[in-house]
Amino acid sequence: MTVLESIVAGVREDLDRRRARVPLSELEAALDDLRPTLDPMPHFRGGDLSVIAEVKRRSPSKGDLADIQDPAALAHSYAEGGAAAISVLTEERRFGGSLADLDAVRARVGIPVLRKDFMVDEYQFLEARVHGADLVLLIVASLTDAELTRFLGLASDLGLTPLVEVHTEEEVDRALASGAELIGVNNRDLKTLDVDLANFGRLAARIGDGVVRVAESGIFTPADAAKVRDEGADAILVGEALVRHGDPERAVAALASAAR
């Protein structure tokens, strides 16, 4: 079993427990009272490098990263630094996240919020919407073509913007065939956890200029941000470098300004 397969297995078990506590009908009933979602795409297409700043406590590869007592305060610092969106890890077992973190961040910031999780079931999309997400992550490696197409449609129906994540050329082709308009290149192989920052440059040209391209993982310095911007990135998703930085507001600003 790969690391990704192991994570998804745990996600499904945790999902079953949440579904037993909160039935789908309860989530559906809550949809009518929700505010409209925020569209991140105009900012991502705006010409400058957008920073998606992540609230991330730990990871399967590095273990504990930061003791984040107040995710809302951290997200506020990111926004003050010029982040275009906030990514919130909600996977519990390997990343230490929760839907409570998503609730807290949504209540504090006025910019788009991404639910960062392993989305494998329709129930999770309603959860994301009810808990205030504007974007959701779809990992091509964990989905069949039929699931990817169905989830893209479901996200659209709910007003959620899907960030479709790829790692290989074959996954790029699948994402493009599905009609994805926002594609993230993960420089970390989720099956081995190895990181190669050059992966973005290899895949960016294959994605093409008509799609918003996001560089994910392995970005730690302004020089890294400038590198992927020169290779075609419209946005970067950064977690570890920010949560370990003593001044997250300044760190976000430095990443964004480095590529202007």
Positions annotated as catalytic residues are: 54, 56, 116, 165, 186, 216-217
Is the CB of residue 77 less than 8 Å from the CB of residue 111?
no
Is the CB of residue 70 less than 8 Å from the CB of residue 107?
no
Comparing CA positions, the residue from 75, 118, 120 lying closest to residue 94 is 118
Is the CB of residue 158 less than 8 Å from the CB of residue 135?
no
Question: Reduced to 3 states, what is the DSSP secondary structure of residue 210?
Answer: coil
Calpha distance 222→220 (Å, rounded)? 7
Calpha distance 114→186 (Å, rounded)? 16
Residue 229 phi/psi, 5-degree rounding, is: -65, -45
Strands annotated E in the chain: 50-55, 58-59, 63-64, 85-89, 113-116, 135-139, 161-166, 182-186, 212-216, 235-238
Comparing CA positions, the residue from 13, 27, 46, 44 lying closest to residue 154 is 27
Is the CB of residue 85 less than 8 Å from the CB of residue 49?
no
